Chains A and B, each alone.
Chain A
């Protein structure tokens, strides 16, 4: 896998990232579609994710939590807007309370995922994140993610 491009647009509060995999599109799609596979990569090793609800259908709800090293949990939700397997997925991603209900009056992100298999057995994945505000970005980074990054880096060091 290679990350082949990253584009930041601070005026539009948008991050676009492209990765390429030597795999057919169905295999790549499966990592979004299967909650047991999704939770193996969504959260960092120190804040692993558990998906408790996963309805990958238009209007479908997805609910998950991430567990930190001290047993603290951070809860999140997706609301699926568009699904066109195995090529396109669009959803809102926000923060939730402990019962998984979206936090009222709290910003959420818009996520756009596009997959294309060209040539065969080579899939390009574009992930675009659109934030409603700078505040929303800060909140999401506060969701155990900054700590998680440090944890992931130390794990890599252990492997090397």
Chain B
């Protein structure tokens, strides 16, 4: 099972809003997708975007705090890769949520039909 550093993510100094913020940004999602395909230095990642190295580095730091990527020293540079364990766990859990919502929508439909029946 996934190990998750609860304190880093959810301590009062790192409010949940920051996590929404981490995933709500298109550049960060793009960085995450690229780092699923391989391990890249921040400068290699930065070459894909029309923004400064520092800006990309900040985006990577936000993803790292959410444990969506990890950084590893490679010689003098830091390389970034997606945290596959987090994404794996996410995929499985999303499937469970899909079942939950399909069932919820079945009940939703039943209530809708019962209410329609009352009006007829």
User: A-side interface residues toward B, CB under 8 Å?
Assistant: 1, 3, 6, 8, 10-15, 17, 19, 21, 23, 27-28, 30-31, 37, 40-42, 44, 104-108, 110, 127, 129-138, 140-141, 145-146, 149, 152
List, in ascending order, chain B residues with CB within 8 A of A152's CB.
103, 107
By the criterion CB–CB under 8 Å, are A23 and B19 in contact? no
Give B30 Cβ to nearest chain A Cβ, in Å: 9
Interface pairs A-B: 8 shortest CB-CB: A1-B109, A132-B19, A41-B107, A137-B93, A10-B90, A8-B94, A41-B108, A10-B91
List, in ascending order, chain A residues with CB within 8 A of B99's CB.
149
Majority DSSP secondary structure for residues of A touching B: mixed
User: B-side interface residues toward A, CB under 8 Å?
Assistant: 2, 4, 6, 9-12, 16, 19-20, 23-24, 29, 32-33, 36, 66-68, 82, 86-87, 89-91, 93-112, 115-116
Question: How distant is the Cα of A148 from the Cα of B101 in the complex, in angstroms?
Answer: 12
Question: How distant is the Cα of A3 from the Cα of B106 in the complex, in angstroms?
Answer: 9
Candidates A3, A14, A17, A107; contact of B19 at CB < 8 Å:
A107
- A19 to chain B: closest residue by CB: B105
By the criterion CB–CB under 8 Å, are B98 and A27 in contact? no
Q: Show 29 residue pairs from A and B whose CB-CB distance is below 8 angstroms, ordered by the A residue.
A: A1-B106, A1-B112, A11-B82, A17-B98, A19-B109, A21-B112, A23-B112, A28-B112, A31-B108, A40-B111, A41-B107, A41-B108, A44-B107, A107-B9, A107-B10, A129-B97, A131-B90, A132-B9, A132-B16, A133-B4, A133-B9, A133-B10, A134-B2, A134-B4, A135-B9, A137-B94, A140-B97, A149-B100, A152-B103
